[in-house]
Homo-oligomer: A and B are copies of this chain.
Amino acid sequence: MKLKRDDISDRVIQRLTKYLSILHDMKKYEEYINSSELSKIMNTTSAQIRRDLSTFGEFGIRGKGYDIENLISIIERILGIDRINKVILVGHGKVGEMLTSNTEVLGKSFNIVEVFDKSPSKVGKEIKDLNIKIKDIKDIDSDLGKINVDTAILSVIKEQAQIVTDILVKNHIKGILNFTTYKLETPDDVAVVDVNISANLQELNFWKDMLKNKGE
């Protein structure tokens, strides 16, 4: 039986990425981990760990726990990061530069294969670490036909966000990591995840004040 969109909550997927990170740390020290140990690190219950994983199959060994290496492979496969995923980057401002000069931030399974910008002063410039030249946003249309990419990172200015998104969607992009603060409109078969550092800071600020004003 195949899993459908509604069988899975976004919270489960967010936790999966955290499990993965913890498992990568743990594998240096241990071969197995059980749901109780993992739940302590995650600040949750062992039941939640087991239930989350059981959404996707049976991966544990009763009486023993989970084989860490194995569980890493499984989660990587679930998230689709057991392979190299090609992505394009649209907008080479400060955020874009950070992403092209620091391959580490995206993680090892994501590779930027093209960078687009609309500024004439940037187009044609070489990005040394990636060995590619910045192309004109105008060329997205003709370019995306040649390479087989379905994921884009959007780091243009807010005013261009929807315009560029429409071009991306037209060119069969199915996933957009949105660094703009614009609420993108996309068809149902296009996934969008927003990254909003300012909003994260606002959240932090709220909780910080709340904790300060009453100690827990």
Q: Which residues of A contact B (CB under 8 A)?
A: 2-5, 8, 10, 13-14, 16-18, 20-22, 41, 78-81, 85, 87, 93-95, 97-99, 101-102, 105-107, 110, 150-151, 174-177, 181, 183, 188-193, 195-216
Contact = CB atoms under 8 A, between A and B. Distances in A.
Given A94-B98, A95-B98, A200 B195 contact: yes
Given A20-B202, A151-B204, 16 more contacts: A2-B214, A3-B210, A5-B211, A5-B214, A17-B203, A18-B199, A80-B208, A98-B98, A107-B201, A110-B205, A176-B204, A188-B211, A191-B211, A193-B204, A195-B197, A195-B200
Given A175-B205, A206-B78, A105 B197 contact: yes
Contact of A200 (B5, B193, B210): B193
A95 B94 CA distance: 10
A195 to B, nearest CB: 5
Nearest to A41: B183
Counting every copy of the chain, the complex holds 2
A175 to B, nearest CB: 3
Pick the 7 closest A-B CB pairs, nearest first. Answer: A175-B208, A107-B198, A94-B102, A191-B207, A98-B98, A17-B199, A193-B204
Given A97-B98, A105-B95, A197-B195, A189 B215 contact: yes
A94 B85 contact: no
Contacts of A215: 188-189
A216 B96 CA distance: 30
Nearest to A190: B211
Q: Which of A3, A208, A214 has the most CB of B within 10 A?
A: A208
Centre residue among A22, A101, A203 by max chain B CB count within 10 A = A203
18 contacts: A4-B214, A8-B210, A14-B199, A16-B202, A20-B202, A21-B181, A79-B203, A79-B205, A80-B208, A81-B202, A81-B205, A99-B197, A107-B201, A150-B212, A174-B212, A176-B204, A177-B204, A191-B208
